[in-house]
Structure 1
Amino acid sequence: MTSCTNTVGNSGEGSHDFARVRRIVKTDEFSSVFRLRPTQKTAHFVLYTRQNDLPHARLGVVVAKRFAPRAATRNTIKRVTRELFRISALQPVDCVVRLAKAVNSKAGPATTAQLKAELRAELTRLFAAQRVRKAP
């Protein structure tokens, strides 16, 4: 029998879980971040941020079906975004990452290793720029 270590109480600094307290889930929370102008843009993503009063950063991910028609592609994008958010040491901000351009191409499926690497590089740049910008 194994024990589950992914609990809300285990969501301290350096934790590798993605507890509910670190997510933006309510429509009002998404809307309050979207009301502000985009903080940064890359080839495929737009990042919106807003300061919060919590001791940690929170993340919301929006991947529209029109930009990534396959569920496997949308899930891959969300998974990579959450992974990079977890390892980024961000100040207390609410971040919403939105896919703003189609990732499918006629050259190949949208879940190729090359596409994953490109998306990972873009997201890394977004979070790294936030870390530098919000540093005291």
Structure 2
Amino acid sequence: MTGEGVHDFARVRRIVKTDEFSSVFRLRPAQKTAHFVLYTRPNSLPHARLGIVAAKRFAPRAVTRNTIKRITRELFRTTALPPFDCIVRLSSPVVKRDGAATTRALKAELRSELVRLFASQKARATAAPK
């Protein structure tokens, strides 16, 4: 682990309380992809925070939901984001009934969508005047 703190996922970098989730959900979605919706809200902290919502109705198997969360956390840790509260919500089914829960193709597709979501926020922050 590096000492810079950008690549960790400590509790202070998570959105865990219901009212914190609610305050971000009240805002319009910042970005949408085929499977995800990203909600953001500026925060007064020196770092970004992440919340993940992966509903059972869109990913019935726990292994799929956990994979989605793992990929999301990994990309969040490795992407330098401005001080935003970000919530990534799964918004459509990711697996067909007859397909495997965590195929390489599925992981690659989800990863590319999440990279686009986080990159859009990074670009938005650099374009916004201070």
TM range (shorter): over 0.9
The percent identity for this pair of structures is 72
Distance of 2:8 and 2:60 partners within structure 1? 28
Distance of 1:128 and 1:13 partners within structure 2? 20
Distance of 2:5 and 2:60 partners within structure 1? 35
- Structure 2 residue 100 is the aligned partner of structure 1 residue 100: no
Q: CA deviation at 1:13?
A: 4.1
For residue 58 of structure 2, the aligned residue among 47, 60, 67 is 67
- Structure 2 residue 6 is the aligned partner of structure 1 residue 20: no
Structure 2, unmatched stretches of 5+, are: none
TM-score using structure 2 length = 0.92
Q: CA deviation at 1:104?
A: 1.1
Distance of 1:29 and 1:113 partners within structure 2? 33
For residue 24 of structure 2, the aligned residue among 23, 29, 33 is 33
- Structure 2 residue 119 is the aligned partner of structure 1 residue 131: no
Listed one character per residue, the Cα deviations across residues 38-60 of structure 1 (whole Å, up to 9, x for unaligned) are 00000000000000000000000
Aligned pairs, how many? 127
Distance of 1:101 and 1:88 partners within structure 2? 24
Distance of 2:124 and 2:102 partners within structure 1? 31
For residue 111 of structure 2, the aligned residue among 93, 100, 120 is 120
Which letter maps to 2:118? F
Distance of 2:45 and 2:97 partners within structure 1? 44
Match of 1:65, SS state, is coil
For residue 68 of structure 2, the aligned residue among 63, 72, 77 is 77
Indicate the RMSD between aligned Cα atoms, in angstroms: 1.5
Structure 1, unmatched stretches of 5+, are: none
Distance of 1:119 and 1:104 partners within structure 2? 11
TM-score using structure 1 length = 0.88
Q: CA deviation at 1:106?
A: 3.9
